[in-house]
Structure 1
Amino acid sequence: MKAFDLIGNTPLVLLEQFSTEAMKIYAKLEMYNLGGSIKDRLGKHLIEHAMSQGELSTGDTIVEATAGNTGIGLAIVANHYHINCVIYAPEHFSEEKMSIMRALGADVRRTPRSEGMIGAQQQAKAYAEKHQAYYVNQFNNDENPRAYVHTLAQEILDQCPDINYFVAGAGSGGTFSGTASVMHQHNVKNIIVEPEGSILAGGEAHAHDTEGIGVEKWPSFLDRSLIDDIKVISDQDAFHNVSQLALKEGLLAGSSSGAALQAAMDIAEDIDEGHIVVVFPDSSDRYMSKNILNYGGNNNE
């Protein structure tokens, strides 16, 4: 096995302290990917697909707008294929992710927080046009959801064939869309998780502290017919669950995982029995500068 082979085939674990005999919550631990997040799958698929289509070659440059995890995945895969990587990231996202991208050789450029991810996308697109770089465009790239159809979705079905609910956050929407398209064929209920400040459930866009999920406009490839419910989770609940996962399960998960767990627990309150699989996209170690384990000064309460 090579390091590059450590993308995918992540473990699925029972959350013992959040489950009952009749109602079980399982977590897909995507922090076990090579770059520490689910977006390694995306980076691998998008780059390899572009190369297979003749749109990208060794020595070329890719550019993308990302809060960090997609950039880390892209940087790892770009290195593997000797491709240059430029990342535009809004200010205020965790410095750990920025440092990791730079360590992996990416050219990281910060954009104003006030312009959000849309502003970062605009700058990434402008860079691509000026420098003839390949703009990955994860938020509007139809290959985004396809990255998960034969990987994450099939792994979950193999690991938990009696799944009843699939729960995942939406950033670009690719993880949910690709996996939900498969789950839908198996009569699994598909639940989207978003933070307060995201617009999928009809709320107004505004800043939030939960990283990696939340959108300012509806992703082009997010199929409404695949969505059985949308759970909107507060930053407070998301970060509280991060601490609870550490204390009760020994799992160091990121804030988007805490939000996803809250959604799963909300579902569990309404059913008598069943199997819920929730995606934990990354770990808490890349958010220490954001005080993730002591959010609001309420550590371990």
Structure 2
Amino acid sequence: MRSLLCSILLLGLPALAIADPRKDWDDFRAGITQYASGPTGMYAIQDVAVVDPGEAVHLAAARAPADIRWAEQAGGKDRVSVSYENGRALLRGPGFAEVDLLKAKDQQQTLANGLIVRGTVYEKSIKAWLYNPKLPAQRFKSLSFFPYDPKGVVAATFTRKSAPVGVSHLDSRNHTGLMYWVGDVELPLHGKTYKLRAFNKEKDWTKINHVLLFFTDKTSKKTTYGGGRSLETHFPAGQPPSAMTLNLNMLYSFLCAHSEYYNCPINLTTFVDTELKYGEMYPPQLK
């Protein structure tokens, strides 16, 4: 379960037609909790580096695996490195053959010291993620959610843009990102209809199979993450419906609520002038 916000990993489990929204909510909570506490989840991130084409990062020497971080300076021949060469994220190091992380299983490789390196595409660069599977036991306690509310399952309408519009945005790590405004969603909430921009990372409709909505509301900074929450809904690629059923019980916090290493959009949210007491609540504080 990977996603966007951040260049981020999409965590919802939405559906075009929701046959059992309560079960979807149960699956959503179980999935996001499992991801948060997993060996390559939100609470296992030890470091991350953005690697531009032709560049490389190296794992600096340290006394213990928990102290290892990425460094730009070259290490010795026994150091682990990730370079971005001709569209490949090449992991090199002692004890294993050269690996293109983008083609590896789960895009990752476990090192001899137990740390895990993963590569993902980020804009025109790649991200080299370093995970320590021991960290969740130290950091993660639980996630909090509002109780399931059937009123959070709402019928909405979608108006697609024939040509998605690129929107440049600043993210939480002070990088400039690009998303595409693919249409608008109108949904009734508490006696009022709201219009929200829908986004996707793709601009080609033949590849677009979901839309993303970014919310802030009157719970933000109180009982939910102040930076915003996200909701996604999926459909067959290139075939967005004009009518959508949205399960607001599956709103999830921007991933920056859980780790500073994510790149979360900070100016794509729509403020909804009501309390959305659905989905993920404010996360526990990291130690």
Q: TM-score, normalised by structure 1?
A: 0.28
Considering only CA atoms, is the larger Rg found in Structure 1 or Structure 2? 2
Q: TM-score, normalised by structure 2?
A: 0.29
Structure number with the higher helix fraction is 1
Structure number with the higher strand fraction is 2
